[in-house]
Structure 1
Amino acid sequence: MRPDRTAFIHRFYSDRCWIEGTAEDQLEQVAAMRGVLSIAAFPDLHPGKYGPVGSAILADRIYPQLIGNDIGCGMSLFALDLPARKLRLDKAAQKLRMLEGSWQGASAARLKALDLRENLHAQALGTIGGGNHFCELQVVDANADSTALETFGLKKGDLALLVHSGSRSLGTAVFSTVLDRFAGLDPDSTEGHVYWQDHCQAIRWASLNRTLIAERAAEALRCELTLVTDAPHNMIEIWDGAFLHRKGAAKADIPLVPLAGSRDALSYLLVTKSDKPDALASLAHGAGRKYDRRSMIGRAGATRSERNELARTSFGGLVVCEDRQLLIEEAPNAYKDPKRVLEELVNAGLATNVASLKPLLTFKKAARQAQSIARQDKKRRLLDRRSRR
């Protein structure tokens, strides 16, 4: 703690990294909050609703606003046993459209196995959600360290699934109980204890949700999958006797962390280093936004041809996103360059890169089956009327 009682901010990025001024202001505001002990900020830093995204904050009390409603959000990487030569992207895109619907599996058993209530927001399990969440089919594009990569069961040319999602309606319900607690929660209070228990349940629920999404995708693609790593980046945990808040900062006290690019940029697999205590056992989780969602209107997808282009990538990949607004809000130019973020992390001594992952098929949102059927019925009725004229 500094003499002025504001926490010290450890910035793990250089002047060459593009950081919005509002995000820097939010860092300073959080540093002055009661009980905040230390902050780590990463090169994917950008402004959030209640605080900076791309940061880890250590405090002696619980601040629910610092992680928001999507408790437990993170990225899980799964290796697939599907040979890349057998993949047909157009067919795979059609198969993955089933992810839009609800999961019909045995939710009670899966929840009970994690010591969760058997009906705990079961209706939302196995679903991706909106915003920047996705299920992406990728191929291991290049090895920076093939030996290290093989220890995680991957090699160049392998197919993998990267799933980014969180606790859906459960996290929203938990956060709704503490919306006005901007001064934080005393962990020894009844309210603090209840929130902590609910928060920890939401983290387990979110991890299960990512697994179920991947299982649904693998079943659609008719292949088997193996978990490579599960890295949450919206959570609180007890660390060094205090409460470590990660908002868009990946848990880095695990061997392997995905660094997600945009849907038209490479992602990376990073082996973490543990000799930087000021980083608070955390790491950047992705490229980070360059432009907020509102300001993307007019920057991309202004015409139909531009929107059609957004459904394809420069790698020859496909994007399934039939929500026009979401397609524009999540356009590739909304994000920073993940290669630049990677270089900053490596130069800061926080991680080493073992492989790049090329996006082949990004699933975000498809039209619901009922809506599709309704459109087909309307078209059929129109054709019938025309044929009777």
Structure 2
Amino acid sequence: MNTSSSETSTAATVRIIASPQSWVEGEAVRQLEAVSRLPGMRLAVGLPDLHPGKGAPVGAAFESEGFLYPYLVGSDIGCGMGLWDVDLLTRKAKAERWAAKLDLEGPWEGDTAAVLAEHGASGTGFESALGTVGGGNHFAEVQRVEEVHDARVFEALGLREERLLLLVHSGSRGLGEAILRTHVDRHAAGGLTADSDEARAYLTRHDGAVLWAKANRALVAQRTLDGIGATGRRVLDVCHNSVTARHADGRVGWLHRKGAAPWDEGPVVIPGSRGALSYLVLPVGTGEQSAYSLAHGAGRKWTRSAARERLKERFTAESLTRTSFKSHVVCEDRDLLFEEAPPAYKAIDRVVTDLVEAGLVRVVATLAPVLTYKTRGRTAE
């Protein structure tokens, strides 16, 4: 394979899965190596979308033994992506009309308790935000099929080339942040002994947030489908920020994913920016070299402040509401519009090619944006 895997002689194995053609910022590598020196750490893997985060890199997976680290999971516990097959033909898409009226802001007026119960989640006090996208790089995107590369897998998922799809990227909203804050107030960035009462209490709250986030994505999808006058069927849902136990050779390890899709849960979607293709891929191989994880997106190329400064000189806000695919973007937060603009991200085709060359995935289909919803500029109370 052409994709290189570099390892260092720190306390844990440090591996970066990226080809020489991929640019990985030095600060992200420094953060990856710093994490590898934490007590109990055994493996730190940077994926092709690796980029610096707050104290720990994003686009990475970490395996530890005897300790687990809530700050490696971060504040948006359970953040991930769900894909829905939309019962609407692509040729009947009305992106301009949808962009004018679709509104996912504010509390949902339905039965949130029933939605949570359907997904095995419980009430948390954050239900006013249930069914909302959130800020940052979160979105709900109506997509069309650009090209099918593996018809057998595509059809096995019940998908049809002439129909629209819906991709939702969101997480646990303020719930995950509150859980992390409780930990940080007591332990700062320190870890927890895996067999301690505090670790068990954190894992209980963490697992609840993962379920809450899944319910949130389902409700965002429902609100979006209602808004465009369609119905849909969930095809997949995966989590990008989590810590889970892995049992092997009589030992228990802890797999932390920080902005990393699971390799071991079936097909996943790896999105580009709102002005690029998304890739539906099937994991292949063993997954061991990548800590059973995959890239979760294109990965940021520029910080948010750098994106604002650079792109405001090149584009108007209005021009960023349309893409090279002639898709529409709903984002009434001017700063966010520039921060999340396509040039702020790495090239998704290079990220996916690195995974293919590393023997980790096979491309099933590429998906193009039709309508990307970010925000109407209001937030849930």
Match of 1:339 among 344, 349, 373: 349
- Structure 1 residue 167 corresponds to structure 2 residue 155: no
User: Which structure has more strand as a fraction of its residues?
Assistant: 2
- The structure with the largest alpha-carbon Rg is 1
Moved more, 167-176 or 152-161: 152-161
Which of 304, 307, 310 is the matching residue for 2:317? Answer: 307
Q: Name the CA shift for 1:340/1:280 in 2 (closer, same or farther; >3 Å).
A: same
% same residue: 44
One-letter amino acid of the counterpart of residue 192, structure 1: A
Question: 2:70 — aligned with what?
Answer: 64
Letter in 2 for 1:279: S
Q: Which residue of structure 2 aligns with residue 189 of structure 1?
A: 196
Q: Which residue of 2 aligns with 1:233?
A: 240
AA partner of residue 35 (structure 1): G
Contact 2:60/2:258, CA 8 A, preserved across alignment: yes
Q: Deviations over 1:142-184 (max 9, x none)?
A: 0111121111111323201110000001101111111143220
1:54-112 deviation digits (Å, cap 9, x = unpaired) = 1110012110111110000001110100111221111111232x212221110112223
- The reply on whether 1:321 has 2:331 as its aligned counterpart is yes
Which residue of the partner structure matches residue 99 of structure 1?
Answer: 104
1:74 aligns to 2:80 (yes or no): yes
C-alpha separation in 2, matches of 1:171 and 1:59:
22
Compared with structure 1, are the counterparts of its residues 112 and 310 closer, same or farther at alpha carbon in structure 2 (3 Å cutoff)? Answer: same
1:212 pairs with 2:219: yes
Write the distance in 2 (CA, Å) between the matches of 1:357 and 1:173.
35
**What secondary structure is seen at the aligned counterpart in 2 of 1:24?**
helix
TM-score, with structure 2 as normaliser: 0.93
* CA–CA distance in structure 2, aligned partners of residues 175 and 118 of structure 1: 18
> Any idea what the Cα deviations from partners look like across 1:320-364, whole Å, max 9, x if unmatched?
001011001111111000000011000000000010000011000
2:172/2:213 contact within 8 Å kept: yes
TM value normalised by structure 1: 0.91
Q: 1:222 to 1:4 in 2, by over 3 A?
A: closer
Cα distance in structure 1, aligned partners of 2:363 and 2:155: 13
The Cα of 1:132 is off from its aligned counterpart by: 0.3
Q: Report the residue type matching 2:16 in the other structure.
A: R
Which digits, 9 at most, give the CA deviation of each residue in 1:124-148, with x for residues without a partner?
1001100000000100110111121
Superposition CA RMSD, Å = 1.8
Aligned to 2:294: 283
User: In structure 1, what is the Cα distance between the partners aligned to 2:85 and 2:118?
Assistant: 23
Change (3 A) 1:156 1:115: closer
Aligned-pair CA distance for 1:369: 10
> Which of 150, 155, 159 in structure 2 is aligned with 1:154?
159
Which residue, out of 140, 143, 150, partners 1:145? 150
Distance between the aligned counterparts of 1:11 and 1:3, measured in 2?
A: 10
AA in 2 matched with 1:74:
G
**Aligned letter for 1:133?**
H
1:45 and 2:56 correspond? no
> In the alignment, is the contact (CA less than 8 A) between 2:122 and 2:212 conserved in 1?
no
Distance 1:182 1:52 in 2: 14
Whether the aligned pair in 2 keeps the contact of 1:108 and 1:119 (CA below 8 Å) is no
Structure 2: state its 5+ residue gaps: 1-6
- Which residue is equivalent to 2:263? 252
How far is the alpha carbon of 1:114 from its aligned partner? 3.9
State the match for 2:96 in structure 1.
90
In the alignment, structure 1 residue 11 sits paired with structure 2 residue 16: yes
Match of 1:129 among 123, 131, 134: 134
1:4 CA drift (Å): 6.1
Match of 2:59 in 1: 54
Partners of 1:141 and 1:157 within 8 A in 2 = no
SS in 2 for 1:132: coil
Alignment length (residue pairs): 367
Report the secondary structure of 1:163's partner residue.
Answer: strand
151-160 or 244-253, larger mean C-alpha shift: 151-160
Q: Secondary structure at the match of 2:88?
A: coil
- Change in 2 beyond 3 A, CA 1:275/1:90: same
Equivalent of 2:116 in 111, 119, 123: 111
Cα shift at 1:5? 5.8
Partner Cα distance (1:282, 1:4) in 2:
22
SS of 1:275's partner is coil
1:128–1:364 CA contact under 8 A, matched in 2:
yes
Question: Contact 1:274/1:281 (CA < 8 Å) preserved in 2?
Answer: no
Gaps in structure 1 of 5+ consecutive residues: 371-389
After superposition, what is the alpha-carbon deviation per residue over 1:179-222, rounded to whole angstroms, capped at 9, x for unaligned? 14322011222221111100000000001100000011111111
* Counterpart Cα distance in 2 of 1:343 and 1:199: 33
CA drift at 1:318? 0.6
1:30 and 2:24 are equivalent in the alignment = no
- Paired with 1:369 and 1:274, the residues of 2 have a C-alpha distance of 42
Query: Within 1, Cα distance between the matches of 2:81 and 2:164?
Result: 16
**Equivalents in 2 of 1:197, 1:309: separation in Å?**
45
1:224 corresponds to 2:234: no
Give the drift of 1:119. Answer: 5.1
Correspondence 1:295 to 2:306? yes
